[in-house]
Amino acid sequence: MKLGPSTLMGIISGTVFVLTLLPPTSIYVFPAVFLYEIVYDLYMYLLGSATYIAKTKHVILATILSSAVMSLVALIALTWVGVLPTNGLVFTWSLGVLRDVAVGLFGSVLELRILKYVIHRVT
């Protein structure tokens, strides 16, 4: 598997975040963002969508899966360093994953609509 554009973006943005954010945020940002992009690229690669324009449902499914992975990595790191309280952990994790998936889903739908509008205006 070649390094995909999402993975490259994850390396660059994760590095920028690590260099600009203060702990404890910098502890989990790089691995969370990097794994988000790896999962996204891997999903598209397995579908054969990495080399051509992917269908909308595949972009949305890849975003949902990637957002869940990113959220879990962040929650594991924050729990490990003691930032998250241990009481109510299941609720906190569930809310965190659902929130991140919802934000990722909103972002991907918005991006697809903007892209569709721009392509329609150009052609």
Report the phi/psi class of residue 48: left, alpha or beta, with left for phi > 0 and alpha for psi in -120 to 50: left
Going from the C-alpha of 91 to that of each of 30, 31, 49, 64, 96, the distances in angstroms are 25, 23, 35, 19, 8
The overall pTM is greater than 0.85: no
Mean pLDDT over residues 66-73, rounded?
90
Going from the C-alpha of 97 to that of each of 46, 90, 109, 117, the distances in angstroms are 24, 11, 18, 30
Range of the domain at 75: 5-122
Contact 22, 67 (CB under 8 A): no
Contact 70, 106 (CB under 8 A): no
Q: How many domains would you assign to the chain? A: 1
String of DSSP letters for 2-13: PPPHHHHHHHHH
Convert the pLDDT of each residue in 15-65 to its tens digit.
777 777 776 666 778 888 888 888 888 888 888 755 556 677 888 888 899
The better pLDDT of the pair 84, 3 is held by: 84
